[in-house]
Amino acid sequence: MLDSADVSINSVRMVASIDIKEDEGGLVEFAAENKIPTVFYSSSELNMLPDIGYSKSDFVRGTTGVDCVCERAAMAASPRGELIIKKTSDGGVTVAVVKEPFSADFGDE
């Protein structure tokens, strides 16, 4: 999924999801194997984010209490970022990717 946006796994700063997935084996193992910190948000925290056109699902809302977990969690973890991969599913895994703004200051004038 990352390859489609030319994103290296080495540039992933955070894995974010909803708190009910804190003990989900595949998610926890992926983050640990790739040494990526994780953050989990409650449905109320995710629902507080402004709607920027998230991919909504009535099924997800009924299960989690929030209309879209992956895109909202990604934006919560990087509020100044840009959603570059909307909700994408493959093999039972759903992912969204946010790219953060980056600039380097080497002190040159």
pLDDT digits (tens, 9 = 90+) for 8-26: 889 899 999 999 999 999 9
Smallest CA-to-CA distance from 30 within 72, 1, 55, 64 is with 1
pLDDT band at 104 (very low <50, low <70, confident <90, very high): confident
pLDDT at 45: 97
pLDDT band at 1 (very low <50, low <70, confident <90, very high): confident
pLDDT digits (tens, 9 = 90+) for 30-79: 999 999 999 999 999 999 999 999 999 999 999 999 999 999 999 999 99
Domains detected in the chain: 3-99 (3.30.420.180)
- CA-to-CA dists, residue 109 to 44, 91, 106, angstroms: 45, 50, 9
pLDDT band at 109 (very low <50, low <70, confident <90, very high): low
Q: Which has the higher per-residue pLDDT, 105 or 58?
A: 58
* One-character DSSP codes across the chain: --GGGT--GGG---EEEEGGGTT-HHHHHHHHHTT--EEEE-HHHHHTSPPSS----HHHHHHHSSS-SHHHHHHHH-TTSEEEEEEEEETTEEEEEEEPP--------
